[in-house]
Amino acid sequence: MTIAIGDKVPSVSVWNKDADGVHKLDFSEFCAGKTVAFFSVPGAFTPTCQEKHFPSFKSNSQTLKEKGVDVIACMSVNDPFVMQAWGELLDPEGDIVMLADAECELATAFGLTIDASGAGLGQRSARFSMLIKNSMVSSLHTEESGGYELSSAEVLLKDL
């Protein structure tokens, strides 16, 4: 079953790597008491993710925060070291929190996975964005496999 507007986000572990090391985070607790602009990409360093999806959130990070977003977070089914390196490349200022769903557990709990085995990527997160308020989904934009039209920061801004 796919997560829906009004649902509480699942209590599933994700990972974050920063200068102090690797940290295991409970996703529901991470979102508690905050407004989170959350987006998920099928893979770090992949073309659409790197050239369009991530940059849309980076270029709109200040506007999102001005409209009440406390945290912008990006997730991919990659390990925390890859997510840190990708974040440092595209977001050296650290405006976006990089979350690794290394075992595809959060994407699976959301019901938003794709099988990218044909491209050598295995099980991955679908491309989507959501606005989360105090651990509750208040908007959700999912893409068809291979698409990039609905999950940009520009679309999510309309929900604020």
Catalytic residues: 49
18: left (phi over 0), alpha (psi -120 to 50) or beta: beta
Which position has the token pair 């369009």? 52
